[in-house]
């Protein structure tokens, strides 16, 4: 059922439109010349279509996907397995896969709470890009377990929320892994999404140091932070497959952000960020 008698062109039917790059609806072809694995491309592609709500009338079967994207069933399953782990879809033997209502506010192991705190906070992810280039930095390279003069992709952004500065965000990534990011416009993109889509890197572990500081005059100016107000400094080492992929240092306005830790015997601990609820 629900076979694609669709008006939109499928990939299998013809090669008529092979150079489409615009955000057209329907399936986009995979790039067999890309260094990214096919399953990774397929995962990104299906995530895109999920967000575009193209599967409102049911998720495709494995068989359909092998035909539409012209890959083997194993490749399809590898991509679907990851989507399942991320809580985006759900499958059952005999009755196909379904799109999950909400991306699970709280998945099994993979909670990205801390990662997403300074990455969006649920607010529009507008940013002011102050620097985006290749640099070297001996101190950062050390933390990334690289040589002192290793080239690094450096991205410095002012994160805005409701039009007002919320944080200064500085990120360094090994250029050997992340050079593919350089063409992205990060005034309106999420770093970890682009990292997955363009570099095939998906953070799976990390360490975060959270401190309370009194920011220097320059930071105060950039953040428009009033006197008598403090700030968080959050430094983060991000790993993927046990390999360091990012060092990040973020300064967050203390009057616009707080951490909320909830704990209970039964459900364990949950940490989240939010705008201050009182005082």
Residues that bind DNA (CB under 7 A): 1, 37-40, 59, 61-64, 70-75, 77-78, 91-97
Q: What does the DSSP 8-state code read for residue 198? A: H
Say which entry of DNA, a second copy, none residue 5 contacts (CB below 5 to 8 A, set by partner kind): none
Least distance CB 78 / DNA (angstroms): 6
- H runs (alpha helix) in 124-278: 138-143, 175-178, 191-199, 217-223
Can you tell me the distance from the alpha carbon of 18 to that of 28, in angstroms, rounded to the nearest whole number?
Answer: 9
| 8 A C-beta contact, residue 97 and residue 76 | no
Say which entry of DNA, a second copy, none residue 94 contacts (CB below 5 to 8 A, set by partner kind): DNA
| 8 A C-beta contact, residue 252 and residue 234 | yes
For the chain, the first-to-last Cα distance in angstroms comes to 57
> Rule CB under 8 A: is residue 208 a binding residue for a second copy?
yes
Find the binder of a second copy among 14, 19, 102, 108 (CB under 8 A): 108
Task: CB nearer to a second copy: give 11 or 196.
Answer: 196
> Rule CB under 8 A: is residue 177 a binding residue for a second copy?
no
> Rule CB under 8 A: is residue 59 a binding residue for a second copy?
no
> Rule CB under 8 A: is residue 265 a binding residue for a second copy?
yes
Task: CB nearer to a second copy: give 16 or 265.
Answer: 265
> Rule CB under 8 A: is residue 213 a binding residue for a second copy?
yes
Alpha carbon 30 to chain centroid, angstroms: 20
Distance of CA 47 to CAs 16, 25, 54, 59, 103, Å?
24, 13, 10, 12, 11
* Site size for a second copy (CB under 8 A): 50
Structure tokens at 215: 């920011």
Can you tell me the distance from the alpha carbon of 78 to that of 39, in angstroms, rounded to the nearest whole number?
Answer: 6
Residues near a second copy (CB under 8 A): 85, 90, 92, 108-115, 204-214, 227-232, 239, 241-242, 252, 254, 257-269, 271, 276-278
């Amino acid at each position: 059922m629900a076979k694609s008698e669709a008006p939109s062109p499928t990939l299998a039917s013809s090669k008529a439109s092979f150079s489409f790059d615009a955000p057209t609806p329907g399936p986009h072809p995979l790039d067999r010349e890309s260094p990214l694995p096919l399953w990774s491309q397929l995962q990104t592609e299906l995530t895109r279509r999920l967000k575009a709500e193209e599967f409102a009338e049911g998720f495709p079967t494995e068989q359909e996907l092998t035909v539409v994207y012209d890959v083997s069933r194993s490749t399809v399953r590898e991509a679907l397995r990851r989507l399942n782990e991320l809580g985006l879809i759900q499958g059952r033997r005999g009755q196909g896969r379904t799109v999950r209502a909400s991306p699970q506010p709280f998945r099994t192991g993979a909670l990205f709470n801390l990662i997403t705190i300074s990455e969006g906070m649920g607010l529009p992810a507008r940013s002011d890009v102050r620097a985006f280039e290749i640099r070297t930095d001996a101190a950062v390279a050390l933390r990334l377990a690289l040589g002192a003069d290793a080239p690094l992709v450096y991205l410095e952004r002012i994160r805005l929320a409701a039009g007002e500065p919320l944080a200064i965000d500085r990120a360094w990534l090994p250029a050997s892994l992340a050079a593919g990011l350089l063409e992205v416009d990060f005034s309106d993109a999420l770093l970890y999404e682009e990292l997955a889509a363009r570099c095939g890197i998906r953070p799976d572990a990390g360490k975060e140091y959270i401190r309370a500081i009194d920011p220097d005059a320059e930071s105060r100016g950039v953040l428009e932070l009033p006197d008598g107000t403090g700030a968080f400094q959050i430094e983060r080492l991000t790993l993927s497959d046990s390999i360091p992929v990012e060092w990040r240092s973020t300064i967050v306005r203390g009057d616009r952000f707080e951490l909320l830790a909830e704990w209970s015997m039964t459900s364990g601990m949950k940490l989240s960020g939010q705008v201050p609820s009182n005082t």
